[in-house]
Structure 1
Amino acid sequence: MGIQRPRSGSTGSRHFNRLRLGVPATLVLTSGNRPCLIDDISCTGTRLRSETALTAGETAVLSFHELRLFATVRWARERECGLHFDRPLDLEDMQGMLWITENRALYDRMCAAGHAMDWADGIRD
């Protein structure tokens, strides 16, 4: 499976591949940081879940590893919402997301090891 740019003449409103991730991230809002789960992502936006409801029109920064993605909440239903990124994700970033989907067990082990190292270094509680 590869990452592709939009197809000309495509039907519907979705023009980019979406990757199903199910990975934790942080949503940075003016009211504070909120943990969230990225359900799926494309180069133009993402669908995520949060423990607290968001409001359409809010601006946010989605923080995932080294990525900081400025976005606007396009729609919100209960604890689920859709974000539209201010700028499309680079192809390299999307390929990194694809790597996560194809190597999930390794990704989870790397995250666990990173959290353990941070804790040992006194960075995390």
Structure 2
Amino acid sequence: MATIWYKYTAGILFLIGLLINAGYCVESNNEEGHVEPEAEGDKSDVGPCREVYPCEPCDKLELQIHSSQCSLTGYRRILKCENRKEDMLESCPNGVKAFWIFQLFMIIIGVVFGIMTMFRRRHLDRLVKERIMEQIQNSA
């Protein structure tokens, strides 16, 4: 029964990794170029928006002026909405950081299970060696 668990461990970990990665890859784009704004309050007053500038890091001045939009993630994007005359600044997620966190997590899992496999293999080899030695002693 224990060998079945070891057989499916890699597959289970792969599926867990896919689920974690899928959580980081969710975007708020619903159509090509159209974006749902993440503004606080009622979204119906801004209307449909399109992305003018993609997600970029905020500079020091923007961090001071637009602290609510830039302080959350350190990144911002500019949206042009139909019902607003001026462009709208919005915080956006940093996908690069999430990617490296996921990669680090997968490397750690790989190392841990690699070490576990190495110790298990050594243990099984020792058991086989002991059985062989016992058979040799019993036959002599």
State the TM bucket, normalised to the shorter chain: under 0.3
Q: TM-score, normalised by structure 2?
A: 0.19
Structure with bigger strand share is 1
Q: Which has the larger radius of gyration?
A: 2
Q: TM-score, normalised by structure 1?
A: 0.20
Higher RCO (CA 8 Å, separation ≥ 6 residues): 1
Structure with bigger helix share is 2
